[in-house]
Amino acid sequence: MPKILTLGLKDLTLAFRDRAALILMLLAPFILTLGLGFVTGRFSGGSQSGLSEIPVVIVNADADQLGDALADIFASEDLAELIAPTTVSDIAAARQQVLADEVAAAVIIPSGFTDAVLTGSSEIVRVEVHANPARPLSAGVVQAIVEEFLSRVQSGAVAGRVTIEQLVRTGRLAPQDAPAAAEEFAQRQSAPTTGAITLRRDEAIAEAQVEFDVLAYLAPAMALMFLMYTVGRGGATLLAERNAGTLARLLASPTSAAQVLGGKVFGIFLTGATQVGILILATTLMFGVRWGDWVGVVALVLAAAAAATGWGMLLAAFAKSPAQVGSVGAALMLIFAILGGSFGPNVPLPDWVSVIARLTPNKWGIDGFAALGSGNTLIDIVPNLFALLAMGAALFAVAVFVFRRQGLVK
């Protein structure tokens, strides 16, 4: 046991003395986490997405009640962080700003818009959202704001008409009094919220979601991606030692093959667990990431490192040279990352690929971290821990079988 420990600690020390390896083990995942934090809006006031101060140009050719109301909405305090509106009077100039990629969209309110809506005219007078296709998300937000406004306008107009017509039909209102009643109704009608449908979040889920920190997903996603690099590198050192003859020299000492292999595996595991641990600690200290149950986090780090170590050993068992481990390991790192969710949960994958993704440590690890980050505890991630440990054990068994067949030093 002391020999395994010594060999493991030796590999850990060598890995953390290798500046080139540190770039990919620690620096790359840290900077990429930072970038993804920007993308998700984690560093910009906690908004749900990274969109802010969307530049919009407004042309209010209507200059009447509804046109002014729509322009006011874009300039409102509620949207101050999200939208950065400007106003021009020339429609061609507004379109040019979109074409020049200066704004995400131009909102063009045509002349006579208010009249057409209030008189119930079927004349085609439409607000135009001239979208910039290079900024589809921002343009989509602008479109949604205009849609919501038009929906409210439509609701008011329909409510007024239905109310007056029904009052007349049921004899509650004399036909000759209808115009005056309609005007009075319109004035009394402020926010047409009566009868609107509301959405209620399930309380248990809502409580769990309140403190969820998106970095508790993104940081382990990046850490697990580069954990695959680390274990591949560890596997490559085994082959490098075999090629350099130091493995044979080690076996000439009173050290068994099992101890050498055990020490190597322990070294890879220790390096991987330390790498992920450092990244978790760094993001906690620098970004205040809320990880959830710490016991669960530690257990998950160890289990993920064990599963990844299994992959590293498997690579070393089948590869012919350290360079081959390096290149195949890098490829595996990227493939596992995209399948397992390291590039974000929105990658469009069919169901059958999602099943294959369960072969990656990334998938089980990221799901586990997300569960802990949203309020779950060690008990809730037992399936993830079991899957990761089983994966590590199975892969290690295959690697040992291959090593035995071909001989550790051959």
Partner 1 sequence: MAKIFAIAWKDALVRFASRSELLFFIILPLVFTFILGGGLTGGQDVDRRLRLLVTDEAASPLSADLLAALAKSETVQAEVLARAEAQREFDDRDASAWLTIPGDFSETLTLNVKTQPNDLNAQAAERAILAAAGEVGLANSAAQQSAAEAGRLRPFADEAERGRYLDEARTQAQALLADAPDRLEVTRAATPDRVPYDPGANSSAGQLITWVFIPLIGISALFAYERQQGTLRRLFTTPTERATYLLGTLGGQVAVALAQMTLLVLFGVFVMRLNWGQAPAALALMLIASALAAAALGTALGTVVKSEGQANGLSIMLGMVMALFGGCWYPIELFPEAVRTAVSVIPTKWAMQGLLDIVLRGQEVGGVLLEAGVLAGFAVVFFAIGVWRFHYE
Task: Output the smallest distance, CB 124 to partner 1, in A.
Answer: 6
Closest CA relative to residue 216, chosen from 37, 52, 27: 37
Q: Does 35 bind partner 1 (CB under 8 A)?
A: yes
CA 94 – CA 107 distance, rounded (Å): 9
Of 200 and 410, the one with the shorter C-beta distance to partner 1 is 200
Q: Does 405 bind partner 1 (CB under 8 A)?
A: no
Binding residues among 143-182 for partner 1 as defined by CB under 8 A: 143-144, 146-148, 150-151, 153-155, 157-159, 161-163, 165-167, 170, 172-173
Among 98, 223, 231, 304, binds partner 1 (CB under 8 A): 98
CA 136 – CA 410 distance, rounded (Å): 57
Q: Tally the C-alpha atoms within 13 A of residue 69's C-alpha that lie toward its C-beta.
A: 12
Of 276 and 408, the one with the shorter C-beta distance to partner 1 is 276
Among 2, 17, 46, 48, binds partner 1 (CB under 8 A): 48
Task: Output the smallest distance, CB 359 to partner 1, in A.
Answer: 16
At 317, which amino acid appears?
A
Q: Does 68 bind partner 1 (CB under 8 A)?
A: no
Q: Does 43 bind partner 1 (CB under 8 A)?
A: yes
Among 80, 137, 244, 286, binds partner 1 (CB under 8 A): 137
Task: Output the smallest distance, CB 212 to partner 1, in A.
Answer: 5
Among 4, 7, 12, 21, binds partner 1 (CB under 8 A): 21
Among 65, 89, 209, 377, binds partner 1 (CB under 8 A): 209
Q: What are phi and psi for residue 199, nearest 5 degrees?
A: -110, 130
Q: Does 251 bind partner 1 (CB under 8 A)?
A: no
The 258-297 contact track toward partner 1, x by CB under 8 A, reads ----------------------------------------
Task: Output the smallest distance, CB 249 to partner 1, in A.
Answer: 23
Q: Does 370 bind partner 1 (CB under 8 A)?
A: yes
Q: Cα dist. 97→46, 71, 140, 207, 294 in Å? A: 30, 18, 17, 44, 51
Q: Does 131 bind partner 1 (CB under 8 A)?
A: yes
Q: How big is the chain, counted in residues?
A: 410
CA 255 – CA 24 distance, rounded (Å): 32
Tokens (6 digits) for 91: 């429609």
Q: Which stretch binds partner 1 (CB under 8 A): 36-44, 85-93, 259-267, 296-304?
A: 36-44
| DSSP conformation class of 378 | G
Binding residues among 309-338 for partner 1 as defined by CB under 8 A: 323-324, 327-328, 330-331, 334-335, 338
- What is the separation, in whole angstroms, between the first and last Cα of the chain? 25
Q: Does 87 bind partner 1 (CB under 8 A)?
A: no
Total residues interacting with partner 1, rule: CB under 8 A: 115
At 88, which amino acid appears?
V
* Per-position b or e across 105-115, b if 16+ CB within 10 A of its CB: bbbbbbeebbe
Q: Does 249 bind partner 1 (CB under 8 A)?
A: no
Rounded to 5°, the CA angle 227-231-237 comes to: 145
Helix, strand or coil, per DSSP, at residue 315: helix
Tokens (6 digits) for 313: 């050993």
Q: Does 1 bind partner 1 (CB under 8 A)?
A: no
Tokens (6 digits) for 352: 């059958």
Q: Which element (helix H / strand E) includes 309?
A: helix 294-318
Of 4 and 98, the one with the shorter C-beta distance to partner 1 is 98
